[in-house]
A = this chain, B = another copy of it.
Amino acid sequence: MGASYYQFCPVAKTMELLDERWTMLVVRELVGGDRHFNDLRRGLPRMSPTLLSKRLQHLVAAGVAERHKSGVEVRYRLSPAGRELAPIVAALGAWGIRWIGELGDRDLDPKLLLWDMHRRVDHDAVPAGRTVVRFDFPAVPPSQRTWWLVLTPTEADVCDADPGFDVTLQVTADLRSMTEVWLGDLDWSDALRSGAVTIQGPPDLRRGVPAWFKLITFATVPRPDRDQRPINSR
């Protein structure tokens, strides 16, 4: 439990609960709906399972989250109180996308990017049948360089190993540019025109790709005027 501030102020009481490292990110993951422990891990790859477990226990004990066990399966979800944190998480993200400046190289992560993208696939826009998109980030170390997204009108799976299906489309991208596209800081069209992102495959499918992925929810947040400076996140 975070140490107390010994203040009656509701802001202080709320932050006692939420200002511990990682806590808000766990909530962020839960805002998306029910989650298995290992789903949460995939969205929080740098968090140790011990710590995730601890945070979840806190949130459950506090009444912000609930743990539902059916058989061997465990699902975490937000309680009614926890669900009311959703607008706060949204506001934090909107603030961040407005004011945080350039990302550090260390903030770029193909694993998280693909994991995020697969959650925002627009299944109505994806072709019937199975579409396999292979992503390559040439500048990234080999172990994180290549990813497969297997898309169907009902499902989306990320693989870090070749799933064995024929590749429908090959996307080759600069990781930073692809991330900027995802964040709404760079248009797909600009990224493709500049060559920062290239797509190989049947032209009709190729042109469809940008519509298959809804961007991060914060992508549409209006940015500050140019004369306002971003803050220094580092």
Contact residues of A with B, CB < 8 Å?
1-25, 28, 46, 61-64, 79-81, 84-85, 87-89, 91-100, 103-104, 106-109, 112-113, 116, 179, 182-183, 216, 218, 224, 228-234
Contacts and interface: CB of A to CB of B under 8 A. Distances in A.
A9 B28 contact: yes
How many copies are assembled? 2
**A6, A94, A103 — most chain B CB neighbours (10 Å):** A6
A156 B5 CA distance: 26
Contacts of A109: 6-8
User: Lowest 9 CB-CB distances: which A-B pairs, in order?
Assistant: A10-B96, A63-B231, A14-B96, A10-B97, A10-B93, A11-B93, A81-B99, A13-B100, A14-B92
A173 to B, nearest CB: 14
Contact of A19 (B21, B98, B233): B21
Contact of A183 (B8, B12, B230): B8
